[in-house]
Structure 1
Amino acid sequence: MTKIREQARMRHPRHERRGEARLPGVAATVVAILLYVALPQQLLLAPRYVVPTLEVLLLIPLIAINPRRLTRQTTAFRFLSLALTLIIAASNLSALGILIHELLYAGVKDGRALLVAALQVWLTNIIAFGLAYWELDRGGPVARTQLPRDELPLADFRFSQDENDDAVQEVADGASISSDWVPKLLDYLYVSVTNSTAFSPTDTMPLSSRAKLLMSVQSVAALLISLLVIARAVSVLH
């Protein structure tokens, strides 16, 4: 069995793959931008289109560097991708802070609008942190597919595939050590969804201090939305 798995890795080495598709990352970013644009003006720190315009200006060169597949990683690409993710997350967290302030001190009466805004912030929170996990873990999406496994930076997350090699055959065959599997954007978005709903890790464990910090911030933000914002909006509806 070990010999068969080794032969499979030699036939399809991960660092010779075409790289992760560009479209999912672009789609997630565009959805986050549109959710921000649709927020009420009182939740925005700047005029409505300032932040989205900056995000689009960062996204365009990222697409130009890797238009179809994420195979090239330059210093500029790394800086722009991390900056874009940071802006999406920071602008959404600021909107959450303003929303909480409005609830506590402004006496918001429009419960329906509040529910919609809370949902927008919650969804953007999932996308923003999913993108952050995707960009940081093991050197980012380019490094995960283009570098040999023994050259990858230390992992920020431990997925179930990373420890399934001793399971039954049909499960073990999909494990990282057997198939040279690495996580993609959807895997990190799933981590983000579960962290925003369970307020804690589920099947994917954070390993690094920065991963634990990011998951803690996301969990607290999701908890505030659930307990304070939505609870207040429901009470206003009644």
Structure 2
Amino acid sequence: MSKTSTAVNAIKAFGTDSGDPKNTHTEPRWPAVLALFSIAGLRFALPDSLAIGPSWLLIVIVGILLIPTTWARLRGSDLLSQTLGYILTSIVTLDMVWSLTLLLRALPAHTESPQELLRSAAALWIANILVFASWYWRLDAGGPRARELRGVHTDGAFLFPQMTLDNEAKREMGEQCWSPGFVDYLFLAFNTSTAFSPTDCPVLSRWAKLLMMVQALISFTTVALLAARAVNIL
């Protein structure tokens, strides 16, 4: 086999999961990976006083932990890959919550300039969307790998519009094997942070309702902070 063929096969293997050979539907992981790096990248918008360690620390941690996570997934170690994914998402969540706490403490102390506070609040608001989208994606219906193995998404914590279609309508729309991807959960998280509601997706699970309450509270806090600082500046 030529080196070119070997490289092509390696690239194809990176985008698929090991497991049941009958499973023909694999969900791309790159949107979730991009979201994690985006959360870490937003750290550069925060002043040093609102972050733990240097600005580059979180992005390095994400990059290092993604190596064994990807390795475990490609080797078919679904439990290990899922556990490492939980750890990775927990780290970026705790970092965001800690920065938000420091931001709220800095507000009455006037230790940061209004511009820095506004920039930090905006960065944390975006990070809040990405963090909770990651959690919804990882937890709903057992996670992405469990959804892949089932082949079609019919039950979960959220009632997506595609789940309400009858079989005939699904066939006509080519959605017989529809399953939510990261973008679906990102849309859900965005709606929660902007409209403070799931809009098109009713929430069925209690854990999902609790998570959405926490996300909406964080979003409301940062939006209120942005409004308060804007009024003071004007």
- Scaled by the length of structure 2, what TM-score is found? 0.81
The answer as to 2:97 corresponding to 1:93 is yes
3-state SS in 2 of match to 1:200 = coil
Does structure 1 retain, via aligned residues, the 8 Å contact 2:152–2:176? no
3-state SS in 2 of match to 1:179 = coil
Deviations 1:14-51 (A, max 9, x none): x6224111221211111111112432111113444444
Match of 1:146 among 139, 145, 149: 149
Distance 2:69 2:60 in 1: 15
Does structure 1 retain, via aligned residues, the 8 Å contact 2:152–2:178? no
Letter in 2 for 1:137: D
Q: 5+ residue gaps in structure 1? A: 1-14
The answer as to 2:41 corresponding to 1:34 is yes
Distance 1:118 1:99 in 2: 8
- The aligned counterpart of 2:70 is 63
Distance 2:208 2:197 in 1: 12
Does structure 2 retain, via aligned residues, the 8 Å contact 1:110–1:236? no
Alignment CA distance shift 1:223-1:166 (3 Å): farther
Query: Aligned ranges for residues 134-173 of structure 1 at < 5 Å?
Result: 134-148=137-151, 155-165=156-166, 169=169, 173=172
**Cα displacement (A) at 1:130:** 0.3
Aligned residue pairs total 213
Match of 1:44 among 43, 51, 59: 51
Higher relative contact order (CA 8 A, sep 6+): 1
Q: Structure 1 vs Structure 2: percent identity of aligned residues?
A: 31
Deviations 1:87-115 (A, max 9, x none): 112211221111111112x1256222221
Task: Spell out structure 1 runs of 4+ moving beyond 4 A.
Answer: none
Distance 2:88 2:203 in 1: 23
Does structure 2 retain, via aligned residues, the 8 Å contact 1:126–1:189? yes
RMSD: 2.5
Distance 2:115 2:161 in 1: 40
Query: Aligned ranges for residues 1-238 of structure 1 at < 5 Å?
Result: 16-66=23-73, 72-104=76-108, 106-108=109-111, 110-148=113-151, 155-165=156-166, 169=169, 173-174=172-173, 179-227=176-224, 229-238=225-234
Does structure 2 retain, via aligned residues, the 8 Å contact 1:164–1:172? no
Q: 5+ residue gaps in structure 2? A: 1-21
Alignment CA distance shift 1:190-1:36 (3 Å): same
Alignment CA distance shift 1:148-1:22 (3 Å): closer
